[in-house]
């Protein structure tokens, strides 16, 4: 079987071209070192659900030169790095507390928060979208759900932004000191918050997690504070980048923006198509624990595998207009922007609600934005999205 090669350099310079060429050759491509990349939709879905492949984020950190410290230890105990019964026990705990009903109850708050942020810049006809909306909005919703006091929410944003550097292979080693410090502060805060909610429960997520952990037993204090910190980070970093990406790609589609404004197109399918077209998470890493054979290829134990979400969701054999933003035509198969299988994103309902409410508010308040000079995008590996997104627009009357 002929298969191509994808290196980090290829992904930085021409990610979708590199993935397309790899898909045309095979479902699998060679990558840096002894790693391989899986680039077609069905194999990615199946392998995300295959227990013979297991999470390996600590291996990634070691390869980047990070093998100790608060961030490394946090990731070692993180649900992102757990599998099997241990991971399922965590999901059961979170499912009892982080429910779709709790997210739906949050929608009025999200709607109001989106309009209040837009109020601050709509009259100017321009803004730096990441600083003035995308960086603020997810932390507002998450802090409201968790029960973080208003006066502490700015600090949460700063910590989450710094911790996000740990998921960028180009930054993690050089900035691990900042990452460790931000994480330590966040863990101290979430630990104190959990203790306070045990003493005086409220109707918030931290109270429910703490109570459920106590009822089940066997959860240490460090695990509970780590789980809450994980929610803060994951719920902020990925949604922030997805919001920026959504506005960036829709800025090139004024007809879609107009259809959303006049109501001829609903926000839900557009959000789903943006997630498929350019998800914030670009790939998922796994390590082969037991040999896997598929279509003449044998993956030996110890092999590191990058399951490309971008490659899978641009598979032209699955999506009829895979390289285009086409909400109707491409709604023929499920995207995997939130992963698949045992590690499917537990916060997907919250992310969807935040994306939907923000898009509805933005299209109601401003015309299709134009991305101005000075936009800066992160490298298309790890978590992707804009670092800066200056936009101009005409406010709706």
Q: Report pTM.
A: 0.92
User: Is residue 159's pLDDT more than 80?
Assistant: yes
For residue range 315-341, list pLDDT tens digits in order.
999 999 999 999 999 999 999 999 999
For residue range 281-322, list pLDDT tens digits in order.
999 999 999 999 999 999 999 999 999 999 999 999 999 999
For residue range 198-250, list pLDDT tens digits in order.
889 888 888 888 887 887 777 788 888 888 888 777 788 899 999 999 999 99
Would you list the domain boundaries of the chain?
8-392
CATH tag for 8-392 (out of 3.40.640.10, 3.40.50.720, 1.10.630.10, 1.10.3660.10): 1.10.630.10
Distance CA 269, CA 256 (A): 11
Q: Note the helical H segments in the chain.
A: 8-13, 15-25, 41-48, 57-63, 70-77, 84-95, 100-119, 129, 137-146, 153-163, 176-199, 205-216, 221-250, 254-262, 267-277, 309-313, 348-365
Distance CA 375, CA 387 (A): 8
């Amino acid at each position: 079987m002929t298969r191509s090669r994808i290196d980090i350099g290829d992904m930085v310079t021409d990610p979708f071209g590199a993935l397309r060429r790899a898909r045309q050759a095979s479902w699998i491509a060679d990558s840096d070192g002894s790693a391989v990349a899986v680039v077609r939709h069905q194999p990615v879905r199946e392998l995300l659900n295959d227990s013979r492949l297991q999470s390996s984020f600590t291996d990634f950190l070691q390869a980047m030169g990070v093998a100790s410290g608060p961030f490394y230890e946090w990731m070692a105990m993180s649900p992102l790095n757990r599998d099997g019964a241990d991971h399922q026990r965590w999901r059961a705990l979170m499912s009892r507390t982080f429910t779709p009903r709790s997210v739906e109850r949050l929608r009025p708050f999200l709607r109001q928060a989106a309009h209040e942020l837009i109020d601050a810049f709509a009259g100017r006809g321009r803004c730096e979208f990441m600083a003035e909306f995308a960086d603020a909005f997810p932390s507002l919703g998450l802090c409201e759900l968790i029960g973080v006091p208003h006066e502490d929410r700015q600090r949460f944003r700063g910590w989450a932004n710094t911790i996000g550097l740990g998921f960028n292979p180009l930054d993690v080693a050089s900035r691990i000191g900042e990452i460790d410090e931000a994480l330590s502060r966040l863990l101290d805060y979430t630990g104190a918050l959990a203790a306070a909610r045990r003493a005086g429960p409220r109707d918030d997520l931290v109270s429910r997690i703490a109570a459920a952990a106590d009822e089940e037993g066997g959860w240490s204090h460090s695990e509970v504070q780590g789980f809450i910190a994980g929610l803060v980070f994951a719920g902020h970093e990925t949604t922030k980048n997805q919001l920026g990406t959504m506005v960036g790609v829709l800025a090139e589609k004024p007809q879609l923006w107009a259809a959303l404004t006049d109501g001829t197109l609903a926000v839900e399918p557009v959000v789903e198509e943006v997630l498929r077209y350019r998800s914030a998470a670009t790939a998922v890493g796994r390590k082969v624990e037991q040999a896997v054979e598929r279509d003449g290829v044998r993956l030996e134990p110890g092999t590191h595998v990058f399951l490309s979400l971008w490659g899978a969701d641009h598979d032209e054999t699955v999506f009829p207009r895979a390289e285009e933003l086409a909400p109707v035509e491409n709604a023929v198969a499920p995207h995997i922007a939130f992963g698949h299988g045992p590690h499917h994103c537990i916060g997907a309902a919250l992310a969807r609600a935040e994306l939907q409410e923000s898009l509805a508010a933005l299209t109601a308040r401003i015309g299709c934005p134009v991305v101005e000079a000075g936009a800066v995008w992160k490298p298309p590996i790890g978590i992707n999205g804009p670092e800066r997104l200056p936009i101009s627009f005409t406010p709706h009357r």
